[in-house]
């Protein structure tokens, strides 16, 4: 069965309509509203939201995005995958240069929603996360960490591996297995300068003849493509390995000795948490936003796995409280971070090409495989 690759517009007509119905019952007063989906904002931060701002939880990211353009919706929390579906003409510039100046250079692309340099920032990228390989009671595989993302192809993981639900992220992992460049991505600071020249000379990795078989092979390994439940499957012993956002597993790594997490030297795609302003929104609560970048709130967020994209020097002190292997998952070493990429939006033509490749690489049914 083919999975939808990237665009979520059709989902909005289903899940988003329910959110709009809920919003229709909200107060039409003058209080500015902050919209977010479950688990998308730290509770410690939400509790300090100043008056007259009101918290407005929504059932899903689709419902948050569907509220764009509705009066009284003044600040929306979205991951980068959802924020990139927002029409930019329905967003106001962030208008907080002093806030953005506190972030590391690799946050600049997400702040512009990956538009050209010189475009006014449209988002506050207040947290980021890598994808990591989480192992349960597999010290044998942890000792082979130098094999990177090819560990996902270990025969003993067949049917015991949880992959991301996003086809694009899965294909990004395959590109790294093959040493091919990320496609349609936005490199972290310094990545292009350090890339292999041979990689830069191959701008169309989707044309590589190895890709269909490599994607099919990885997909055939999976127990499920479901990072939302991946940690539960690991903890229940139904899976031995899962590719998960680092944020979801970081707090457990300190308390559960069964779990180990690896970030390969080739890096990973990045996930961004973004706050965006709908057109005509109320002025930002800038003092509240700035709290996330300094103690004591910064320390509380790190304890829950939320990592602001700040310069390494500013994160050094709070991260020193963490064991070094875990701290390096939270803020990767510069050479690893340079190989991490944010997933900028595909063009329509690229989307069609990659969707066709994904469909072509669907695992064969058992009776087909044996035919």
Q: Which of 239, 251, 235 is nearest to 329 (CA)?
A: 251
Which of the residue ranges 87-101, 199-213, 336-350, 352-366 has the most confident prediction, judged by mean pLDDT?
A: 87-101
| pLDDT level of residue 8 (50, 70, 90 thresholds) | very low
Q: What is the pLDDT of residues 111-169, one digit of tens each?
A: 999 999 999 999 999 999 999 999 999 999 999 999 999 999 999 999 999 999 999 99
Report the DSSP beta bridge partners of residue 274: 78, 125
Q: What is the pLDDT of residues 201-218, one digit of tens each?
A: 445 777 889 999 999 999
Domain ranges of the chain: 9-128+271-325, 130-269+347-364
Q: Residue 366: what pLDDT?
A: 57
Q: Are 54 and 32 in contact (CB under 8 A)?
A: yes
Tell me which DSSP letter residue 307 carries.
Answer: B
Mean pLDDT of the chain: 88
Q: Which CATH architecture has domain 9-128+271-325?
A: 3-Layer(aba) Sandwich (3.40)
| pLDDT level of residue 25 (50, 70, 90 thresholds) | very low
Q: Residue 11: what pLDDT?
A: 43
Q: What is the mean pLDDT of residues 165-190?
A: 84
Q: Are 165 and 228 in contact (CB under 8 A)?
A: yes
Question: What gap in Å lies between CA 86 and CA 83, rounded to an integer?
Answer: 5
Q: What is the mean pLDDT of residues 167-196?
A: 74
Q: Residue 185: what pLDDT?
A: 64
The tokens describing 165, both together, are 């639900």
Tell me which DSSP letter residue 243 carries.
Answer: E
Q: Do domains 9-128+271-325 and 130-269+347-364 have the same CATH topology?
A: yes
- Which secondary structure element, helix H or strand E, spans residue 316, and what is its range? helix 312-319
Q: Which CATH architecture has domain 130-269+347-364?
A: 3-Layer(aba) Sandwich (3.40)
């Amino acid at each position: 069965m083919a999975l939808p690759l990237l665009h979520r517009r059709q989902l909005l007509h289903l899940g988003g309509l329910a959110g709009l119905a809920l919003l229709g019952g909200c107060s039409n007063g003058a209080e500015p509203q902050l919209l977010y989906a479950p688990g998308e904002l730290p509770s410690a931060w939400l509790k300090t939201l100043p008056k007259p701002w009101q918290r407005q939880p929504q059932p899903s990211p689709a419902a948050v995005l569907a509220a764009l353009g509705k009066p009284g919706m003044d600040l929306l929390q979205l991951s980068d995958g959802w924020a990139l579906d927002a029409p930019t003409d329905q967003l106001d510039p962030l208008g907080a240069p002093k806030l953005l100046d506190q972030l590391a250079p690799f946050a600049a692309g997400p702040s512009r929603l990956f538009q050209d340099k010189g475009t006014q920032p449209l988002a506050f990228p207040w947290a980021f996360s890598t994808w990591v390989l989480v192992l349960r009671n597999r010290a044998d595989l942890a000792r082979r960490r130098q094999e990177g993302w090819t560990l996902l192809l270990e025969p003993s993981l067949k049917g015991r591996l949880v992959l991301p639900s996003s086809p694009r992220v899965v294909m990004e992992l395959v590109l790294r297995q093959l040493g091919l460049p990320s496609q349609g991505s936005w490199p972290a600071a310094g990545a292009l300068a350090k890339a292999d020249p041979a990689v830069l000379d191959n701008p169309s990795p989707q044309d590589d003849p190895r890709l269909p078989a490599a994607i099919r092979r990885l997909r055939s390994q999976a127990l499920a493509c479901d990072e939302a439940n991946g940690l539960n499957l690991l903890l229940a012993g139904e899976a031995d390995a899962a590719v998960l956002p680092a944020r979801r597993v970081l707090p457990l790594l300190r308390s559960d000795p069964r779990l180990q997490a690896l970030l390969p030297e080739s890096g990973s795609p990045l996930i961004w948490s973004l706050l965006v302003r709908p057109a005509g929104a109320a002025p930002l609560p800038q003092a509240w936003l700035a709290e996330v970048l300094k103690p004591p709130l910064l320390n509380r967020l790190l304890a829950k796995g939320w990592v602001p994209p700040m310069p390494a020097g500013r994160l050094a002190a709070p991260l020193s409280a963490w064991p070094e292997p875990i701290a390096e998952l939270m803020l990767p070493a510069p050479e690893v971070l340079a190989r991490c990429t944010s997933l900028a939006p595909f063009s329509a033509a690229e989307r069609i090409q990659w969707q066709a490749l994904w469909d072509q690489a669907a695992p064969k049914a058992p009776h087909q495989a044996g035919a």
